[in-house]
Amino acid sequence: MIRSNEYKTATDEHGNHQSAGVERDVPWVAITPVVNAIRVVERMVPDGQLLFDHDSHDLHTTGSDTGSLKLDALRARIEDFVAWANTEAATHGLPNETIPPDPNGKIGTARFRRSLAWHIARRPNGLVALAIQYGHLRTTFVAGGYASRSRDGIHDLIDIETVRAVADTVADLHDDLGAGGGVSGPAARRAIKAAATAPRFAGTVITATTARRLIANEDAMIYDNPHALLLCHYKRATALCHRDGVKDTPRVDHCVPGCGNVIRTDQHALQLRERATALDTRAARVPGPLGERLRANADKLRGYADAHDRTRITLTEDAG
Ligand code: SF4
C-alpha cells in the first residue's frame, strides 16, 4: 500500500485549505515491481525529500528549486524512456516492441497520461503485471474514493477512453451481426439490442460529460474481454465480478464464467478452440497432474465453444 499526501485539495473540516497537505483517504495498491521502484527512488533522494525531488533528479537544469520535477524534466524523462525501450527492443531482437517515431512530435505529459488511460481502458488483461497495476489504478481512480471527491484529469481521461473502447466493441458487434454472425450467452438478446444503438456512439463527440452519461447507461455499454474470450454487457444487478459493493464498470480482470452478463460471438468460439488446441499441445509436453489440468482446461474451453454453436442466435432469429 502506498500512502501519500495531497495538497491542492487538502482542506480541514471547515473547508479551509491546509497548505501542509493531508494524507490521501485512499492509498494506492501496488504490485511488487512498483514497490521496488519506489525503494530505489527513496535511496536517490535525501531523507524527507519528495520522491521526485527537483534538485535530486533534474540534473540538467542549473540552479536549485523547490518541489518536484518540473514539466520540462518530465518531458525529457518520457523521451529518455522511449530511447531506452527502443534500445532494449533492439538488443533483444524484438522489433515489434519498438516505439515508433511520433508523427505529432514529442509525447509530453498530457499525451502520456492519455496513453495511461488508454491502457487502463483497453488492456485489462494484457501483460499480467501491468494488468494488475492498471486494474488497481482503475479501482483506485474510478471506483474508489477519489471518484466521489474530485473527478478531473486522469479520471476524465479514463472515462473517455473507456467509452471509446466500448464504442469500438459495439461497432464491431453491429457489423458482425449485420454480416450474419451469431451471439450466445445469457446477455445475447440484450447485446443484439445494444448493437443496434452503435450509431449512438458514432454521432457523439465523446467528452468527459458524455462519457460519464454513457457509462451510467447500462443498456449502451458492452465491454470487450479478450482474455476471457467474451463480451460483457454490464448490468450491476447481475455482475458476479463485484463482491465488495456496486461499481459503475465491470472488473473484467475478475470475470466469472457463469455471469449473466456474458456474450460470446462466432469469433470467440473460434478463438476458444484455438486456445484449447494450444493447451493440448502444451499438455502433450507436460507429464502428470499439470498436463491433466491443461487438458481439462482445453476441454472446458471447447465446451464453451460447443455451447455457443448450439445456442447462438442471429439478427434474423432474434427478430423472428
Ligand atoms: S463477471 Fe465478467 S461478464 Fe460478469 S459483469 Fe463481471 S466482467 Fe462482466
Task: Give me ligand 1 centre to Cα 129, in Å.
Answer: 21
Task: Give me ligand 1 centre to Cα 228, in Å.
Answer: 10
Looking at ligand 1, which atom is closest to the CA of residue 240? 1
Beta bridge partners of 271: none
**Quick check: is 174 in a domain?**
yes
Nearest CA to ligand 1 atom 8: 232
Task: Give me ligand 1 centre to Cα 106, in Å.
Answer: 38
pLDDT tens, position by position, for the chain (320 residues)? 888 887 777 777 888 888 888 887 767 777 788 889 999 999 999 888 888 888 888 777 666 677 888 888 888 888 999 999 999 999 999 999 998 888 888 888 888 888 877 877 776 554 444 555 555 555 554 444 344 344 456 778 888 888 888 888 998 999 999 999 999 999 999 999 988 877 767 767 788 888 888 888 888 889 888 888 999 999 888 889 876 655 677 887 788 888 999 999 999 999 999 999 999 999 999 888 999 999 999 999 999 999 999 999 998 876 65
**Dmax (CA) of the chain:** 75
Nearest CA to ligand 1 atom 6: 241
**Quick check: is 15 in a domain?**
no
pLDDT score recorded for residue 262: 96
**Quick check: is 60 in a domain?**
no
**Quick check: is 317 in a domain?**
yes
pLDDT score recorded for residue 166: 87
175 Cβ contact partners less than 8 Å away, ≥ 6 residues apart = none
Looking at ligand 1, which atom is closest to the CA of residue 233? 8
Nearest CA to ligand 1 atom 2: 255
C-alpha cell at 106: 514529442
Range of the domain at 317: 167-320
Pocket test for ligand 1, best of 166, 256, 264 (most atoms within 8 A of CB): 256
Using CA atoms, how far apart are residues 152 and 208, in angstroms rounded to an integer? 9
Give the 3-state secondary structure of 73-122. HHHHHHHHHHHHHHHHHHHCCCHHHCCCCCCCCCCHHHHHHHHHHHHHHH
**Quick check: is 13 in a domain?**
no
**Quick check: is 115 in a domain?**
no
Using CA atoms, how far apart are residues 193 and 176, in angstroms rounded to an integer? 14
Indicate if ligand 1 lies below 6 Å from the C-beta of 249. Answer: no
Specify the number of domains making up the chain.
Answer: 1
pLDDT score recorded for residue 143: 42
Using CA atoms, how far apart are residues 313 and 186, in angstroms rounded to an integer? 11
Indicate if ligand 1 lies below 6 Å from the C-beta of 248. Answer: no
pLDDT score recorded for residue 27: 72
Indicate if ligand 1 lies below 6 Å from the C-beta of 255. Answer: yes
**Quick check: is 229 in a domain?**
yes
264 phi, psi to nearest 5 deg: -125, 145
Beta bridge partners of 22: 6
Indicate if ligand 1 lies below 6 Å from the C-beta of 231. Answer: no
